[in-house]
A and B are shown apart, each in its own frame.
Chain A
C-alpha cells in the first residue's frame, strides 16, 4: 500500500488561512488502511479545525467526505456539487489522489493534508515499513525477495557496505540491514553461491531518473 503521514496541524492551518469554506476529502483505500487519511482521520482533522476556528476566530466552515479512491475519476466525479460549494479542497489522500482530484476539477485548488512517504506494508500493529521503490526493474529474483533498492540505505546491488552493525543498518539501529537479511535467506535456502553473481550497473531509465513514467496498453484502450 501507499503509506503517508498527516502533515502537522500548524502547516495545515497556514495553508488554509486564506480560505473560508473548506472541503476535507478522505480516501478509503491505502491511506485509510495506514490510518492516515480515511473517514476516521478526516473526522479527527475536521474536529481539530473546527476547534481552532472557534478559538482563533477563523470563521472556517468545514465540511467533510470520504470517497473510496481518489486516484480514480469515477469516484471523484460525484463530488462535483461539494467541490462547487467550497473555496478550497483539502485532500487527505496520497500524492496521487491529491493531484488527480485537482485534475478532475481544475477550477479548484486542492491542498495536501498528507506527506506521502512510501510503498510499504503494515508489519505489525502500528508499524509500517518500506518495501518497494517502484524502480521499474525488479531484482527480487536475485535477492530472494528482499529489495536492495528500497531496503538498503545505499541501494547497493552487490552486498552490504562495511557499516552493518549486529544485523542493523549504520544509518539507523532500528533498521534491518537488507543485505544481512538477503545473506541469511540465501544461506537458509542453500543458495549462497548466488552471492558470487556480480549484478552489473543497471539502467535507471525505468525509474523516475528516466523522467516521469507512463504506461500504455493499447489493447485496453477504446
Chain B
C-alpha cells in the first residue's frame, strides 16, 4: 500500500471504484461544502476537490479537502502546477499530508486566461508529469526534488493523474499515459467520456501496452443536464467530444424530461464502461449537480459502496 487510502484499498482489492467531484465555493462558506458532501457521503469512495478549476478563484483545494475529511468523506486533493513553483508545491504536499490527506491528483491546470483573473502571471515551473515524479520521490525515497537528504515523516500519497483520450493528437494519448505510468502514477481519471468508440480504441491501445496492469483507470462521466448544455459542451469545450446522436437524443426530449434523460444516458454509459477491459472504476463529475449523485450510483447498481 502506498497511502492506505480508502480509494487505494478498494482498487487494490479489485473492487470497481467510484469517485465523485466537489468544487469548493467561490468564498469561504463551509456550509456549501457540507451541503454538497451529504450527497456524496456513502455514495462514492473518494471525492476530488478541484484546485481553482477553470482558473476561477475558489477556496483552496487543501483546505476544502481537510474540511471534507472532517465530514467523513475521503478527498482526492487536486493540485495544478499553474499557480505554484516547486517550493510551494513541495511545501503544500508536506502540509496536506500532515493534515491527513492521502490521495492527490497531479494536473497542469486550465490556463489562467479562461478564469476570473485572466491578467495573472502563471508559473508552470514543472509540468504534470514532472509533478508525478516529484511526489513519488517524496513518498518512496523521502527526498525533495534534486536533494539527497531525507525528510522527516512519511508522505503517504496515492498518486493520481488525468488522461484525455479525446484531445488530439489521439495517437499520442496512450503514449502520454505510458509516460505518466513511467513517472509513477497509481491511478488515472479520464476526461468525461461520451464517444465510446474513441474511448474503446484508447483503452485497447492502453491494454495492448499492458498499462492496465500497472495503473488503475477510472473512466470519467458527466451527466448531461439539458439539450443546451449538451450542445454547448459539444461545440465549445476543448478536449470534449459528444457524438451527434447524443446531442440529438438530448434535444429530442421535452425540456422538463431532459435531466432524467441525461441521467439515463449516464447510467447506460457507466454500464458500458464497466465492461471495458482495464476500466477499474468511474469518476463521476456531476458538476454543480451533486444532489443527483445518489440516484445515478443507485441506478447504475454501484451501491452499497464497499467498506474496506
From DSSP, what is the main secondary structure of chain A's interface residues? loop
Given A171-B111, A195-B175, A162 and B162 contact (CB-CB distance below 8 Å) = yes
Instruction: State in angstroms the CA–CA spacing of A24 and B124 once bound together.
Output: 39
Given A161-B108, A165-B239, A201 and B126 contact (CB-CB distance below 8 Å) = yes
B245 within 8 A of A: no
Q: Which residue of A lies closest to B183 (CB)?
A: A198
Q: Which residue of A lies closest to B145 (CB)?
A: A201
Given A166-B168, A195-B172, A171 and B178 contact (CB-CB distance below 8 Å) = no
Complex interface: chain B residues within 8 A of A195 (CB): 172, 175-176, 179
Contact A154 B111 (CB under 8 A): yes
Segment with Cβ contacts to A, from B91-99, B129-137, B150-158, B250-258: B129-137
Given A170-B239, A196-B179, A198-B183, A163 and B130 contact (CB-CB distance below 8 Å) = no
A158 within 8 A of B: yes
Count chain B residues whose beta carbon lies closer than 8 angstroms to a beta carbon of A. 37
Cβ 8 A contact of B108, one of A154, A165, A196:
A154
A28 within 8 A of B: no
Instruction: State in angstroms the CA–CA spacing of A151 and B181 once bound together.
Output: 26
Given A154-B111, A159-B179, A201-B145, A167 and B168 contact (CB-CB distance below 8 Å) = yes
Contact A165 B238 (CB under 8 A): yes
Q: Which residue of B lies closest to A204 (CB)?
A: B125
Count chain A residues whose beta carbon lies closer than 8 angstroms to a beta carbon of B. 31
Contact A165 B167 (CB under 8 A): yes
A155 within 8 A of B: yes
Contact B172 A158 (CB under 8 A): no
Contact A156 B127 (CB under 8 A): yes
Contact B129 A158 (CB under 8 A): yes
Contact A159 B239 (CB under 8 A): no
Kindly list 4 other residue pairs between chains A and B, CB separation below 8 angstroms, not including A154-B124, A180-B168: A170-B110, A171-B111, A195-B172, A198-B179
- State the B residues within 8 Å of A (CB): 82, 86, 108-111, 113-114, 122, 124-130, 133-134, 145-146, 162-164, 167-169, 171-172, 175-176, 178-179, 182-183, 191, 238-239
- State the A residues within 8 Å of B (CB): 153-167, 170-171, 177, 179-180, 183-184, 187, 192, 195-196, 198-201, 204
